[in-house]
Amino acid sequence: MMPIFDLPPDRLTEDLVERTMYARDLAPVPEIMTRSFFQTLPDAIVRPANATQVADVIRQAASLQLPVTPRAAGSTSYYNAVPVRGGLVLDVNSLRYDISLDTARQTVRVLPGTTWFELDDTLRRQGAAVRSYPSSAIAATVGGWVSTQGHGIGSLQYGAIADQLVSLQVVLPTGELRELTRNSDPPLSWFVAAEGTLGVITTVELGVRPRPAAESHHLFSFDDLDALGTGVQSLSHSQPRPYTVFFADAGYLALLERAGFHAPGARRQEAGGPPPASRLLSPASYPAGMLMVSFQGEPAAVNQGRDGLARLPGRELPSELALEEWSLRLYHLRNKRGGPSLLATDIWLPLRNLAAYLAGVRKLAVRSRQQIGSYGLAITPEWGQVMSIYPTDERRTAAYLAAIGFTKRLHDLGAHYGGRPYGVGLWNTPYLSRLFSRTDLRELRRRKALLDPHGIMNPGKLYAAPFPLWPVTFAPAATALSLAHTTFLRGERRSP
């Protein structure tokens, strides 16, 4: 029992079934990888109603040196919000709404458990809009996205979430409630992408934009990846800057059809029944890639952006398809229906290497006989965020475990082209050296030691790889699993 917490009974639970729901995120991980090495099952869940209660809980946890893992939507897949040393999960979802728009300053204050969709929906009724949002905006919370890298739809035009923040209210690991700005000590920037390891965000103030007076969406298909890569790069540098540029390869389109959905630009398939495996693996059935570009803002700028598309290589698809693709921008997970499980790598990649990376993925897919689809966004003029996904089935535990190892092949391919993982959590800690320079990592660890000397906030994440994820143990194990996966796939394809 945890009698120390002075919370109403409906705000603390030790129910076993309830706790199991906080011991996972999007990616199901076999118990052999979790319970053998980590205590992913929290001892209790607390659900504070306000910042004062958050501070009370943290203060009491600090006095007991009890680990605290803050959690909002739990919609990442690297165990960013899953405990690895038990303790408390602090569910911040009760800190929701209280949306206060300052029209003159074009800023909004909002509680961290509000979803991006809810925030934008509310702002639009008041003549404003969020500047950018994650592609999981229906579930993802404002506080959660600040705690990750915060790049997504709209980042190309408006920058990362870090660029939009005005202030944060946080509870530090001591239980102290603080208002942070860009110039405070510590500055708010320390809490961006800190993944809840430095405290709990309890209010966010960020810049907004006027509700766009006009928007225009366009969809293009490409017969070769070089043209797709060139198109994405040229749009990312163009003026006026597009609101967002989305791209996907033939593998992504094939996965859409595998899942039972229409793939824009795909050659018409035979009526009735699922597409044959030969079609799903045949690049000839699909364009090499597709690109969706969206302009938003004042009508003149939107028109100017649209006029500039005439120079874009590729074939423009009908406007109704572009509109449909725009309406589906938050629904890429529909591909999972073709899985039934889906594994993925999410990387930052220099856009100059996009075509080469996608070609590399295609070669890897053919060589390994693993269907892989890639899609992503241009998030700065130079960088893209690329998700490479592949179907599997978590119900076949051994094969699924091997399939998890295959993520390393994709990460290594990304690294070969200058990429690095997007987000850390637990499962990307083996790649810390790809994510941060030694100097940067030293600085991050210094901040952690300064603010959280007892290491109670979301321990086991971000700063160092815990065993068995040390690179020296992880790399050979993941490589062996990956080999087992491709051997298994080859055998499966050969069998009738």
> Under rule CB under 8 A, which residues in 386-415 are in contact with another protein?
393-395
Query: Considering the complex, what minimum distance in angstroms separates the CB of residue 141 from another protein?
Result: 9
Q: From the list 44, 45, 201, 465, which residue makes contact with another protein (rule: CB under 8 A)?
A: 45
> Which CB, 28 or 30, lies closer to another protein?
28
- Spatial strand order in the sheet of 88-91: 12-13, 44-46, 88-91, 68-71
Applying CB under 8 A, does 21 fall inside the site for another protein?
yes
- DSSP secondary structure string for all residues of 53-101: HHHHHHHHHHHHT--EEEESS---SSSTTS-SB-SEEEE-TTS----EE
CB atoms within 10 A of CB 391: 22
- In the numeric block, the tokens 């607390």 are attached to 46
Integer Cα distance of 357 and 386 in angstroms: 10
Sole window of 86-94, 171-179, 189-197, 444-452 interacting with another protein (rule: CB under 8 A): 86-94
How far lies 328's CA from each of 98, 274, 324, 331, 446, in Å?
28, 21, 6, 5, 42
391 bridge partner residues = 342
Query: Considering the complex, what minimum distance in angstroms separates the CB of residue 91 from another protein?
Result: 7
> Which CB, 45 or 110, lies closer to another protein?
45
Applying CB under 8 A, does 139 fall inside the site for another protein?
yes
| Strands 383-392, 420-421: pairing kind | unpaired
The answer to whether 172 and 199 are in contact (CB under 8 A) is yes
Q: Which helix (H) or strand (E) holds 397?
A: helix 397-416
Applying CB under 8 A, does 37 fall inside the site for another protein?
no
Q: Compute how many residues bind another protein; rule: CB under 8 A.
A: 45
Q: Considering only CA atoms, which of 148, 149, 177, 167 is closest in space to residue 206?
A: 167
Q: Considering only CA atoms, which of 294, 155, 117 is closest in space to residue 218?
A: 294
Q: Per-residue contact track with another protein, 247 to 286, x per CB under 8 A?
A: -------------xx-------------------------
Applying CB under 8 A, does 98 fall inside the site for another protein?
no
Q: From the list 8, 10, 278, 310, which residue makes contact with another protein (rule: CB under 8 A)?
A: 10
Applying CB under 8 A, does 125 fall inside the site for another protein?
yes
Mapping DSSP to helix (H, G, I), strand (E, B) and coil, where does residue 410 land?
A: helix
- In the numeric block, the tokens 């856009």 are attached to 351
- In the numeric block, the tokens 């290491």 are attached to 455
Q: From the list 6, 14, 15, 382, which residue makes contact with another protein (rule: CB under 8 A)?
A: 15
Query: Considering the complex, what minimum distance in angstroms separates the CB of residue 106 from another protein?
Result: 22
Q: From the list 2, 5, 13, 399, which residue makes contact with another protein (rule: CB under 8 A)?
A: 13
Sole window of 11-19, 310-318, 357-365, 451-459 interacting with another protein (rule: CB under 8 A): 11-19
Q: Per-residue contact track with another protein, 327 to 356, x per CB under 8 A?
A: xx-xxxxx-xx-xxxx--------------
315 bridge partner residues = 221
Applying CB under 8 A, does 147 fall inside the site for another protein?
no
Query: Considering the complex, what minimum distance in angstroms separates the CB of residue 126 from another protein?
Result: 12
The answer to whether 158 and 433 are in contact (CB under 8 A) is no
The answer to whether 75 and 95 are in contact (CB under 8 A) is no
Query: Considering the complex, what minimum distance in angstroms separates the CB of residue 393 from another protein?
Result: 7
Q: Which residues bind another protein (CB under 8 A)?
A: 10, 13, 15, 17-18, 20-22, 24-26, 28, 45, 47, 73-75, 91, 93-94, 115, 117-118, 125, 136, 138-139, 260-261, 327-328, 330-334, 336-337, 339-342, 393-395
